[in-house]
Structure 1
Amino acid sequence: MTTGVPTSPSTTRPRRSRLRRYLPLGLVVWLVLEVWLLTRVAGAAGGPTVFLLLAAGVVAGSVIIKRAGRRAFRNLNEALQRGGSPSRGGGNGLLMLGGLLLIIPGLISDAAGLLLLLPPVQRAVSRWTERTLDRRLRRVVPGGLGDAFQQARMHRPDGKVVQGEVIREDTAEPRGQRPPLTR
C-alpha cells in the first residue's frame, strides 16, 4: 500500500560533526572538574577564600569586558568618521572572551580567562582561529566567500534554481514607498 508521498532513496540521517557529538560531554566534564576543584580549594583554604576568589573574578571580568567594549566602539566610531571601513578587532573579542571566562564561576575558567589576557596567547589564539576558519571556509566554499556572494541563487516555487545577482538602480523614490511586485 502506497500513500502517494514520494520518498527519497536515501533516508539515512547525515553524520553529526565531532563538535556536536562531543561538546555536551566536554561541558559536563568541565563542570564536574570545576566543582571538584572548588571543593578541594575550599577544603584547603576555606569557604570565604573561595567566595572572595569568585567575587574577584566577576569584578575583574566585568571591568575587562567594559574596557574592551568601549575600545571596540571607539575604534568603530573613528573608522566611520574617517569614512573608511572598520579594521580588524585588534584583540577586543579575545579580551571580551577572557573577561567572560573570568565572570563564569570556577577556577579553571578563571585560569583560561587570565591566559587570554596575555598578548602572546591572544596572538597565538587569533592566528590559530584564523587558520582554522579559513581552512573550513575553503572546504565549504572552494572559491572563498567572494564566489559565494557572486553566485547568489534564487529558489523558485517549482523547485528550480535560478542563478542571478541583485542589481539595484539608484532611483529617487520617496522613502517608504516601493514599486509593486510584478510577476
Structure 2
Amino acid sequence: MTTGVPTSTAPRRRSPARTFLPLAVAAWLVLEIWLLGLVADAGGALAVAAVLAAGLVLGVVVIKRAGRRAFRNLTDTFQQAQQGRPPTGRQPGTGTSGNGMTMLAGLLLIVPGLLSDLAALLLLVPPVRAWIGRRTARTLERRMAAAPSGSFADAFQQARIHYPDGKVVQGEVIREDHPQRPEPDAGHRPPLAP
C-alpha cells in the first residue's frame, strides 16, 4: 500500500556536528587532563584539589543564586496575574534573561577542569551572557523554522503560534462531563478497601 508520500532511498547525510562532536569532546577531555597535570606539576596535588573544590563550591553558589532569582521572578509573575495585572516580564536591572545561562555557568564550574571553569567565568560576564543568549535564541528559531512537518520542533513551533491581533485570553477550562466529587469531611475517612 502506498501512501502517496515520496520516500528517498538515499542514505541521510550525517550533520557535521554529529561527526565532529565526539572528537571535540575527546580533545576537550585530553586538554583538561593535561592542564590539570600542569597545575599538579607546578603546585602539587593539593593545588589541584583546591582548584577543583573551589570550582565545585562556586558552581553550587552560582546555581543556587540563579535558581532563587528564577523562583522569585516566577512568584512575582504569579502574584501579578492573581492581582489582575498583566505580567510585566523582564524588569530592568534584574537580569532575568540570563538565568539559564547563569545555571549553565554554574554547571560548568562544577564539572572538574580548568577549561570548563574558564568558559563558566566567561558566561558569568553579563555582556557575554547576553550575546550568547541572543545567538542561541536566533539559532534555535532558525532551526525550528526549517524543521520538517511532523517533527518535534514543528509541534513546538505550532504551540507557540499567537493570534495575529496579539490578544491573549486568560481563562480556566472546566470539564462538565465528569461529576464533581463532594469534599470529604475532616473527621470522615474513606475505607481502605472497597
Superposition TM-score, scaled by structure 1 size: 0.72
Give the aligned length: 154
The equivalent position to 2:23 in structure 1, one of 9, 19, 25, is 25
Give the aligned partner of residue 140 of structure 1.
147
CA distance in 1, matches of 2:60, 2:21: 26
For 2:129, the equivalent position in structure 1 comes to 122
Mapped partners of 1:85, 1:174: distance in 2: 33
Q: Indicate how the Cα distance of structure 1 residues 47 and 67 shifts in structure 2: closer, same or farther if over 3 A, else same.
A: same
Aligned-pair identity in percent equals 48
Cα distance change, pair 86–51 in 1 and its aligned pair in 2 (3 A): farther
Helix, strand or coil at the partner of 1:91: helix
Cα distance, 1:141–1:66 mapped onto 2, change above 3 Å: same
Secondary structure of residue in 2 paired with 1:93: helix
**Structure 1 segment 1-183 matched on structure 2, within 5 A:** 10-83=8-81, 84=86, 87=89, 89-140=96-147, 148-149=158-159, 171-174=175-178
User: Could you tell me how far 1:174 is from its partner in structure 2?
Assistant: 2.8
Q: Distance in 2 between matches of 1:146 and 1:64?
A: 30
Question: Residue 79 of structure 1 contacts residue 85 of structure 1 at CA under 8 Å; is this kept in 2?
Answer: yes
Distance 1:150 1:110 in 2: 35
Secondary structure at the counterpart of residue 113 of structure 1: helix
Q: Is the 8 A contact 2:59 2:107 kept in 1?
A: yes
Is the partner of 1:172 in helix, strand or coil?
coil
Cα distance change, pair 147–76 in 1 and its aligned pair in 2 (3 A): closer
Deviations 1:61-95 (A, max 9, x none): 00110110111011111101211568465211111
Distance in 2 between residues matched to 1:150 and 1:101, nearest whole Å: 30
Consecutive unaligned residues of structure 2, counting only runs of 5 or more, are 1-5, 91-95, 162-172, 182-194
Q: TM-score, normalised by structure 2?
A: 0.68
- Structure 1, unmatched stretches of 5+, are 1-7, 152-168, 178-183
Deviates more, 1:41-50 or 1:133-142: 133-142
RMSD: 3.2
**Following TM superposition, where does structure 1 have runs of at least 4 consecutive aligned residues deviating by more than 6 angstroms?**
144-147
In structure 2, C-alpha distance between the alignment counterparts of 1:93 and 1:17, rounded to whole Å: 26
